[in-house]
């Protein structure tokens, strides 16, 4: 009896750990959210319908920005945990980068 | 392979390994690249470079960057010879906030020297194209903050390469993600050195390295080759940079490139981590051995320039 409950407990723990691991890997429930982590935008390319609001969230310890190449939008400083949202009405390709680390690049494709 | 070349590649390897050794440039080590000061100059002088104080940063591995900047200032003030001036090669602040600039200015006011010179880092200019920075730290400079001055026969040039950064990486499509000098500044530079004799020793300082260290992280400067082409005829050019938070060094002909440690936090050696940024897991008792300052001086007989890095440990 004791053995079985121990086994069950172990199983529950394993499942719980697995669930946490899966959650941690998923960027978020919002498909229009871009996570900034490890000096990269994830996903680097996001395709959305016209009229969609896209949100960036900085999960890095370093500050970043989401700045359009043509400066059409600019998040300004995003410190750890900060968010920035931008609505995309017109179809097109919007290239952006981090103004502090310009090797970090991303793209929004609006259809 | 000649002895000289072997020595050169040995130095390069040591620099790239990021070892915390003390660099002393003199004839015995750097051979033909030894830095010759103007023959006329008899007096000995030294100046100090500090960099990347990142005031406002408050995460691992350093929750008190104001304190470590203060320690760097104390170290400068404890030098046997008071520096003629002190150069800060940028990233004074972490987020270009007014209060961060204020704190930095307050601490740096305590430096015992007659003058401070600054060039901005991208962290000082990215929110307002450098307006706050220029108001406080760029008095007497030209254009967007570049400058030159002469001291004891040496010509000093401060360049700004953190404005108008363009997206991209050195390995991908688009721009390089590198530092930018811009045509206005290049034209100014060309004109600035025009009247100088080729025997004038030149010291150039700028935030982002003026040679390509690691394109994947944007560690390089566009148009740096053009800038250096204007300096080619000079017998001795020393380039002092920050940005990478570690000592890296390269010798190319008459040009010595040198990057300084940060006073705030170390960054990984090129390519040794998935991304640049602070090395977080530094034990508290190790941190100060990874921070520091650079003392540049003419050696006693007055015809050489020595670059000596020391840590805050």
Based on the structure, what is the number of domains in chain B?
A: 1
DSSP SS3 for A107:
strand
Low-confidence ranges of chain B (pLDDT < 70): 1-43, 169-175, 298-304
Q: At B137, phi and psi to the nearest 5?
A: -120, 0
pLDDT of residue A1: 46
Q: pLDDT, tens digit, for every residue of B75-129?
A: 999 998 899 999 999 999 999 999 999 999 999 999 999 999 999 999 999 999 9
Could you give the CA distance from residue B164 to residue B187 in angstroms, rounded to a whole number?
17
Interface of B with A (CB under 8 A): 59-60, 94-96, 122-123, 126-127, 165-170, 172, 174-175, 177-178, 216-218, 274-278, 280
Nearest Cα of chain B lies from the Cα of A18 at a distance, in angstroms, of 25
pLDDT of residue B40: 38
What letters, b where the CB count within 10 A reaches 16 and e where it falls short, cover B234-253?
Answer: bebbbbbbbbbbbbbbbbee
Residue A15 has pLDDT above 80, yes or no: no
User: A31-110: which CATH architecture?
Assistant: Sandwich (2.60)
Residue A93 has pLDDT above 60, yes or no: yes
For residue B138, count CB atoms less than 10 angstroms from its CB and return exposed for 0-12, middle for 13-18, buried for 19 or more.
buried
The pTM of this model reads 0.82
The CATH number of the domain holding residue B238 is: 3.60.21.10
Distance of CA A61 to the CA centre of its chain: 14
pLDDT of residue B153: 87
pLDDT of residue A8: 61
**What is the DSSP annotation of B208-228?**
S-SS-SBGGGTBSBTTHHHHH
Q: pLDDT, tens digit, for every residue of A66-92?
A: 999 998 999 989 999 999 999 999 999
Q: Enumerate the domain spans of chain A.
A: 31-110
CB contact under 8 A, B280 and A99: no
Point out which residues pair with B297 in neighbouring strands. B46, B306
Token pair, residue B147, equals: 């400058």
């Amino acid at each position: 009896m004791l053995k079985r409950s121990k086994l069950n407990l172990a199983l529950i723990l394993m499942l719980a750990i697995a669930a946490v691991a899966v959650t941690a890997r998923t960027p978020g429930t919002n498909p229009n959210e871009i996570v900034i982590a490890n000096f990269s935008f994830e996903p680097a390319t996001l395709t959305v319908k016209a009229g969609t609001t896209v949100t960036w969230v900085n999960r890095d310890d370093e500050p970043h920005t989401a700045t359009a190449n043509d400066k059409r939008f600019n998040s300004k400083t995003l410190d750890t945990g900060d968010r920035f949202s931008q609505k995309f009405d017109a179809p097109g390709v919007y290239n952006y980068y981090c103004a502090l680390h310009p090797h970090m690049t991303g793209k929004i494709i609006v259809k | 392979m000649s002895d000289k070349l072997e020595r050169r590649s040995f130095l390069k390897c040591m620099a790239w390994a990021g070892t915390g050794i003390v660099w002393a440039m003199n004839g015995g080590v750097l051979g033909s690249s030894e830095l010759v000061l103007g023959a006329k100059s008899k007096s000995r002088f030294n100046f100090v470079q500090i960099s990347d104080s990142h005031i406002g940063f408050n995460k691992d591995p350093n929750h008190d960057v104001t304190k470590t900047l203060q320690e760097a200032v104390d170290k400068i003030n404890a030098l046997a010879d008071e520096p003629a001036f002190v150069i800060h090669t940028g990233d004074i602040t972490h987020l270009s906030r007014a209060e961060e600039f204020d704190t930095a200015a307050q601490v740096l006011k305590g430096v015992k020297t007659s003058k401070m010179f600054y060039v901005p880092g991208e962290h000082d200019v990215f929110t307002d194209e450098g307006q706050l920075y220029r108001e406080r730290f760029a008095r007497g400079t030209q254009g967007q903050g570049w400058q030159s001055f002469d001291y004891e026969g040496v010509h000093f040039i401060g360049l700004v390469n953190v404005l108008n950064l363009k997206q991209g990486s050195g390995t991908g499509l688009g721009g390089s993600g590198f530092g930018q000098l811009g045509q206005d500044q290049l034209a100014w530079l060309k004109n600035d050195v025009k009247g100088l004799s080729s025997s004038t020793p030149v010291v150039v300082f700028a935030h982002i390295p003026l040679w390509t260290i690691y394109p994947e992280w944007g560690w390089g400067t566009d148009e740096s080759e053009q800038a250096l082409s204007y300096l080619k005829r000079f017998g001795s050019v020393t380039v002092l940079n920050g940005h990478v938070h570690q000592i890296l060094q390269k010798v190319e002909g008459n040009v010595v490139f040198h990057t300084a440690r940060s006073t705030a936090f170390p960054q990984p050696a090129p390519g040794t981590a998935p991304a640049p940024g602070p090395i977080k897991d530094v034990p508290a008792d190790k941190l100060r051995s990874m921070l520091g300052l650079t003392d540049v001086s003419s050696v006693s007989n007055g015809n050489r320039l020595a670059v000596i890095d020391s840590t805050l440990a």
